[in-house]
Amino acid sequence: MLLQRRFEEKVAEAYALGKIGGFCHLYIGQEAVGTGAISVLRDDDYVVTSYRDHGQALARGITPRAVMAELFGRSDGCSKGKGGSMHLFDRNTNFLGGHGIVGGHIPLATGVAFAIKYRGGDQVCLCFFGEAAVNNGAFHEALNMAALWKLPVIYVIENNRYGMGTALERASAINDIAERACSYDMPNEVVDGQDVFVVREAIARAVTRARKEHTPTLLEMRTYRFMGHSMSDAVSGTYRTKEELEEHMKRDPIEVLRGQMEEMGDWNDENMTTLDNEVREVVEDSWNFADNSPEPSIEALHENVLVDTTSDAEASAAVAGD
């Protein structure tokens, strides 16, 4: 979580310097959700997420170097510099992408779970999206099919209270959005998304249900974003007050975890400083790596539009994700 925080602080710096461009959505404040959730997964499970994907990519084990290089638009980036901030992909860790169209990737998660069941596997697919996406048709269609066909998928709503500048209450007819699962007779829970242990436990329950019973789950993680919607949005703007933001920042997920670890008696300020220094070095290294990575060549512009393989072996390897 600390790595994600320091990494994204650096991302903000790089953005200001013009090393990163386009839309760039920070995860700061929400780290416990992705970290807790992904920590429960096995290596052969799958993760699909939205454009707010830096933290989850790091939590899944994509190297800071590969993520930073992607953000810098370089050829060593995890998507070879073609995707950028919103489209981090990594086949090695079964990280099936950051996706830019709100709600668009939710059916993909259902499809991944369909493929798992189809092949008789016991993996699960974890799908992250914001609370504003639950108003979108794709969400409902995807959940209905997952429940109907009993697919091993866990839908994680990251309820950070806002979709851009629109508060949850101004966009959804019900405020307890986990209840949307009731229409599909799907297990659901509201979870404290600022407490990484609570997140882990809820995900673990859902993962067990998915692996053992092929039952999908909808989890509503209550969290908050400490930054603007994207780098082009003010931190607190017309739609939320500074006071509200400050109130929520009191439950910084990193501080919550630190408190818990101190209480457990195996953590102190000195440990924290050491860790922080280590993390800062890793981040610094990722910056240097990204900065020195070559830009994609002009030939790369035309690569990857289509593949030219057609063999069955290759097609099934693509399905297996290996």
Partner 1 sequence: MPVITYRDALNQALREEMQRDDRVFLMGEEVGVYQGAYKVSKGLLQEFGEMRVVDTPITELGFAGVGVGAAMVGLRPIVEFMTWNFALLALDQVVNAAAKMLYMSGGQYPMPMVFRGPNGAALQLSAQHSQAWESWLAHIPGLKVLAPGTPYDAKGLLKSAIRDDNPVVFLEGEMLYNTKGEVPEEDYLVPIGKAELKREGEHCTIVSHGKMVLVAMQVADQLAKEGITIDVVDLRTIRPMDVDTVVTSVRKTNRAVVVEEGWEFCGVGAQVADYIQRECFDDLDAPVLRVHQADVPMPYAKAIEKAAKPDVRKTIDAVKRVMYLES
Ligand X SMILES: Cc1ncc(C[n+]2csc(CCOP(=O)(O)OP(=O)(O)O)c2C)c(N)n1
Contact track, ligand X, 223-242, x by CB under 6 A: ------x-------------
Residue 133 is a binding residue for ligand X (CB under 6 A): yes
Residue 321 is a binding residue for partner 1 (CB under 8 A): no
Using CB under 8 A as the binding criterion, the count of chain residues that bind partner 1 stands at: 44
In the bound state with ligand X, the residue whose beta carbon lies nearer, of 74 and 180, is 180
Contact track, partner 1, 76-115, x by CB under 8 A: ---x-xxxxxxx-----------xxxxxx-----------
Q: Which does 81 bind (CB under 5 to 8 A by kind): Mg ion, partner 1, ligand X, none?
A: partner 1
Residue 160 is a binding residue for Mg ion (CB under 5 A): yes
Q: Which does 52 bind (CB under 5 to 8 A by kind): ligand X, Mg ion, partner 1, none?
A: ligand X
**Rounded CA gap, 30 and 10, in Å?**
17
In the bound state with ligand X, the residue whose beta carbon lies nearer, of 100 and 296, is 100
Residue 245 is a binding residue for ligand X (CB under 6 A): no
Contact segment (CB under 8 A) with partner 1 among 15-23, 119-127, 259-267, 279-287 equals 15-23
Closest-approach residue to ligand X (CB): 130
Contact track, ligand X, 40-69, x by CB under 6 A: ------------x-----------------
**Rounded CA gap, 278 and 50, in Å?**
29
Among 264, 270, 302, 310, binds partner 1 (CB under 8 A): 302
In the bound state with partner 1, the residue whose beta carbon lies nearer, of 1 and 51, is 51
Residue 280 is a binding residue for partner 1 (CB under 8 A): no
Among 39, 136, 144, 208, binds partner 1 (CB under 8 A): 136
Among 43, 295, 314, 322, binds partner 1 (CB under 8 A): 295
Using CB under 6 A as the binding rule, the residues of this chain from 135 to 174 that contact ligand X are: 158, 160, 162-164
Among 13, 42, 61, 101, binds ligand X (CB under 6 A): 101
For the CB of residue 129, give the shortest distance to ligand X in the complex, in Å: 6
Question: What 3 state SS string does the chain have?
Answer: CHHHHHHHHHHHHHHHCCCCCCCCCCCCCCHHHHHHHHHCCCCCCEEEEECCCHHHHHHHCCCHHHHHHHHCCCCCCCCCCCCCCCCCCEHHHCEEEEECCCCCCHHHHHHHHHHHHHCCCCCCEEEEEEHHHHHCHHHHHHHHHHHHHCCCEEEEEEECCEECCEEHHHCCCCCCHHHHHHHHCCCEEEEECCCHHHHHHHHHHHHHHHHHHCCCEEEEEECCCCCCCCCCCCCCCCCCCHHHHHHHHCCCHHHHHHHHHHHHCCCCHHHHHHHHHHHHHHHHHHHHHHHHCCCCCCHHHHCCCCCCCCCHHHHHHHHHCC
**Cα Dmax for the chain:** 59
Instruction: Spell out the long-range contacts of 305-312 with Cβ–Cβ below 8 A and sequence spacing 24 or more.
Output: none
Q: How many CB atoms lie under 10 A from the CB of residue 125?
A: 28
Using CB under 6 A as the binding rule, the residues of this chain from 103 to 132 that contact ligand X are: 129-132
**Rounded CA gap, 214 and 165, in Å?**
37
Please give the distance of CA 55 from its chain centroid, rounded to a whole number: 6
Residue 166 is a binding residue for partner 1 (CB under 8 A): yes
Chain contacts with partner 1 (rule: CB under 8 A): 21-23, 70, 73-74, 79, 81-87, 99-104, 132-133, 135-138, 163-166, 170-172, 237-239, 295-298, 300-302, 305
